[in-house]
Structure 1
Amino acid sequence: MLRMFQKATGGLMLLGGLGVVLMMLNIVADVVSKLIWNAPIQGTVEVSSYYYMIVLVMLPMAFVEMEDEQISVDLLFDRFPPALQRAALVATGIAAAAILSIMAWRTGLDARRALRVGEVVMGSREITVWPARMVLPLGFGLAAFASLLRAILAARGMSTARHHDPRGAS
């Protein structure tokens, strides 16, 4: 199950990367169109804000958690004995899973409301945004699952990261 989840999170990471490429192409096309023909692509700002940015931030979250690549500051952690390090990893994994689960639940409520009303935004043109709202609970939920999985593995003295774990866990 761990390998299957890691492959799924890797696929979502690639989709997030695709979001970056598509956003770049869309913005470049908008700038070129504006400079050459004085006709910018309508809705570029809205699509970038409500689709590309959401995809490139939310889809890779579980991958980042699984690979232990989130930002962290280890002021005291490296000085802890191994048993205390393991306990700290378990506790922080459970706490992160709880917080991410609450965020998944809350954004899920927002996504359901957006679907129900057919949410749109008005900018240079009307853009349907309710589908993008579905990505937030997905990203938070998968990241919560990854945090819980990492906590379980830490309790067993294992790591999910594919690279060498500097904390000594294997």
Structure 2
Amino acid sequence: MEKALRRICHFLMLLGGAGVVLMMLNVTIDVVLKAVWNTPIQGTIEISSYYYMIAIVMLPMALVELDDEHVVVDLVYNRLPGWLQRICLVVACAATTAILGVMTWRTGQDAIRAWRVGEVVMGSREVIVWPARVMLPLGFGLSMVAAGLRTVMAALGKPMTRAIHEATA
């Protein structure tokens, strides 16, 4: 299961990276067109805000969770005995899984509502934004699965695949 999840997460990471490149190209072309011909690309701000930025943040989130790459402060944790570190890790991963589950459910409800009403945003032009709402429950949901997998692995005292590869490299 971890390998399949890892493949999906890597694919979403690539999509997030593509979002960075597309946003850069879109904004650069918009600036050049406005400066040279005074004809900016209509909707650049809205598309950047509602599509690119959401993709950049939400799509790679599951891989960040799976690889335990979130920012952590472990001043106390490193001083605890091994058995207590394991308990803390299991509790933290379980809490993370639960919180991500709630966020998945809530953003999923928002995505369904946005789809039903055909949500759009008005800026320099009308931009359809309801498809972008799907990225939130997708990112949170896969992160929840990753956190759940980390919870199980921590409870069993087994490292994740990435940790095994780093130890043998």
Could you say which TM-score interval applies, normalised by the shorter chain? over 0.9
Deviations along 1:39-64, one digit per CA (max 9) or x if unpaired, are 11100000000000110100111100
Alpha-carbon shift at residue 160 of structure 1 (Å): 2.1
Query: Which 4+ runs in 1 deviate beyond 3 A?
Result: 163-166
- What's the TM-score once normalised by structure 2's chain length? 0.95
Are the structure 2 counterparts of residues 153 and 163 from structure 1 closer, same or farther at C-alpha, using a change threshold of 3 Å?
closer
| Higher share in helix | 2
Match of 1:105 in 2: 105
Partner Cα separation in structure 2 for residue 155 and residue 165 of structure 1: 20
Q: Is the 8 A contact 1:120 1:130 kept in 2?
A: yes
Question: Comparing 117-126 with 149-158, which one deviates more in the overlay?
Answer: 149-158
Question: Comparing 154-163 with 68-77, which one deviates more in the overlay?
Answer: 154-163
Q: How many residue pairs end up in the alignment?
A: 167
Match of 2:75 in 1: 75
Match of 2:151 in 1: 151
Are the structure 2 counterparts of residues 61 and 161 from structure 1 closer, same or farther at C-alpha, using a change threshold of 3 Å?
farther
Alpha-carbon shift at residue 161 of structure 1 (Å): 5.5
Query: How do 1:71-150 residues align onto structure 2 when only pairs under 5 Å count?
Result: 71-150=71-150
- What's the TM-score once normalised by structure 1's chain length? 0.94
Structure 1: unaligned runs, 5 residues or longer: none
RMSD: 1.6
SS in 2 for 1:41: coil
SS in 2 for 1:158: coil
Structure 2: unaligned runs, 5 residues or longer: none
Match of 1:29 in 2: 29
Letter of the 1:54 partner, please give it.
I
Alpha-carbon shift at residue 158 of structure 1 (Å): 1.8
Partner Cα separation in structure 2 for residue 54 and residue 142 of structure 1: 15
